[in-house]
Structure 1
Amino acid sequence: MELTDLRFAKAVLDPTLIDGVYNACDQWCESCPLTARCLAFRCRPSADGDGDVYMHIAEAMDESMKALKDRHDAEGVPVPPGLAWLLANDPRNGSGVVLVDDPLERTGRQYVVQSAMYLMSRGDLPAEIPKRANGPTPLDVFIRYHFLIGAKVYRAVVMSSQAARSGDAAARDDADMAAKVALLLIDRSHDALELMHMDEGHARIDQLRAQLRRLRRELSA
């Protein structure tokens, strides 16, 4: 019998897990004190994996659901409709991208593009951000968060739109959480850029700081 990945099934039974804590984090697991209570971290890829935590959660969940279906089949018990639907409608088979036309999302996207252009103009980027004894450098912080800011702004916009259309309280909570995380990342990135500006005085750094201040104003409105 082929072994299945039951990490998801085992992990979700742990009463110490904090429900959805991974939706309110900065995805910097190395410095997080809550990894033991985080489902995303529990189902993280192995050291030789591809590094996509959320894809590994999906894979672990899929394996667990298949194992559960096999047990139902072996015992001659009908498969619950919800389980059958989830197995037949794997979200990994869709793009998951919702097209939006929103000025806040465009501002977030512009920040990501401008940040990437600035980083490409540098000649000192590390292949990966190491864990430093004295904590991350300002450049480490900027690199780590520059794309995530755009992603969180996008999520806040999409879920806010969904909440407005449907009145879904869960969508509203999701939008608010994404916006709060984005604001946290914006503040940390702005502080990092301020320190980088003191050392380098690069004109693009001033532009990026201005973009972050604009994002902060629009998100807080």
Structure 2
Amino acid sequence: MESKKEHFKRTLLDLSERKDLVPGIYNYCDRWCERCTMTQRCLTYLHEQEVKPDAEPLNPDEKNKNFWEQIRLAWEVTLEMLEEDADEKGIDLDEVAAFQMPEHVETPLEIRARNYGTDIHNWLKQHQQFFETKAEQLVTINDEASMIKYQDAMEVIQWYGFFIGAKVHRAHLELKNRQNNPDDEFGLYADNLGSAKIAIIAIGRTMDALSVFYSAFKEMEDDILKFLLELSQIKKQLLKTFPGVMEFKRPGFDD
């Protein structure tokens, strides 16, 4: 009988042979699979569907156990495949010099983007009762259209809250060296551009969602305007730091 590890690896290798999948499409997406229109061309999504349990456990402890099991399997299979590739190429991994990641000093923009995530998270938590009351009022008057609109806006704001900071951080890793490397034979700077672009896209979507609340909830105008201005400034600085970033083609999405 096939073990979990063998199943994990076999399904991954089988899917990687499919010609209809877009290579690297998962590198610069927003990881919001439930809202994605490209899941059937994404190796990561399809593999996750293959290896997830047939029935999702209701017990939160079991859910967490499954989560960490998938992390462990991914790590073990990745190491095994690296060792196999190294053997094929005649590389002794034990003799490979240890690689040290260069120290990264966060830029003011990274700190600003991360702080936005913390601030919007705390703000939503602080005003949770307000939004719940508004939702109850919409249910009372049977205004389903407005309820769906505000619920969608809330989901967008929540989804991208910390995501923006994470991608802004990734976009700045080794930035100066990569921007000033005319050779860049491995295309490393593309990772900075792709990360910056999805951060800008996430900012745009968040600003649209916040604008929905800004128009509807007059008592929240000052707070929402503050977040809109903050996101606008972060976006402006990203566009300045990464010239031509919006021309970068994300695999599958911008082709």
Which of the five TM-score ranges fits, normalised by the shorter chain? 0.7 to 0.9
Query: Deviation at 1:56?
Result: 4.5
Query: Deviation at 1:24?
Result: 2.1
Q: Secondary structure at the match of 2:20?
A: coil
Amino acid of the structure 2 residue aligned with 1:66: E
In structure 2, the residue matched to 1:13 is 17
Equivalenced residue count is: 204
The runs of at least 4 aligned residues of structure 1 exceeding 6 Å deviation read: 67-70
Q: Which has the larger radius of gyration?
A: 2
Structure 2 unmatched runs, 5+? 58-62, 133-144, 241-255
Query: Deviation at 1:80?
Result: 2.8
In structure 2, the residue matched to 1:139 is 154
Amino acid of the structure 1 residue aligned with 2:12: F
**Counterparts of 1:53-68 in structure 2 under 5 Å?**
56=70, 59-60=73-74, 62-63=76-77, 66=80
Cα pair distance change 1:171/1:66, threshold 3 Å: closer
Name the % identity. Answer: 25
Alignment partner for residue 156 of structure 1, among 171, 188, 192?
A: 171
Cα pair distance change 1:198/1:101, threshold 3 Å: same
In structure 1, the residue matched to 2:42 is 38
- The 1-side partners of 2:121 and 2:103 are apart by 23
- The 2-side partners of 1:198 and 1:121 are apart by 20
Query: Deviation at 1:166?
Result: 5.6
Amino acid of the structure 2 residue aligned with 1:212: L
- The 1-side partners of 2:78 and 2:225 are apart by 49
Cα pair distance change 1:172/1:43, threshold 3 Å: same
Q: Secondary structure at the match of 1:17?
A: coil
- The 1-side partners of 2:162 and 2:216 are apart by 23
- The 1-side partners of 2:65 and 2:123 are apart by 25
Query: Deviation at 1:52?
Result: 10
Q: TM-score, normalised by structure 1?
A: 0.74
- The 2-side partners of 1:15 and 1:58 are apart by 28
Structure 1 unmatched runs, 5+? 73-77, 127-131
Q: TM-score, normalised by structure 2?
A: 0.65
**What is the RMSD computed on CA atoms of the aligned residues?**
4.0
* Alpha-carbon contact 1:22-1:38 (below 8 Å) kept: yes
**Counterparts of 1:71-220 in structure 2 under 5 Å?**
79-80=87-88, 85=93, 99-124=104-129, 137-164=152-179, 168=184, 170-201=187-218, 202=220, 203-220=222-239
- The 2-side partners of 1:181 and 1:34 are apart by 15
* Alpha-carbon contact 1:18-1:38 (below 8 Å) kept: yes
1:45-82 Cα shifts (integer Å, max 9, x gaps): 624555999x9588347437638979x9xxxxx93357
Amino acid of the structure 2 residue aligned with 1:180: K
Query: Deviation at 1:11?
Result: 1.6
In structure 1, the residue matched to 2:252 is none
Query: Deviation at 1:19?
Result: 1.2
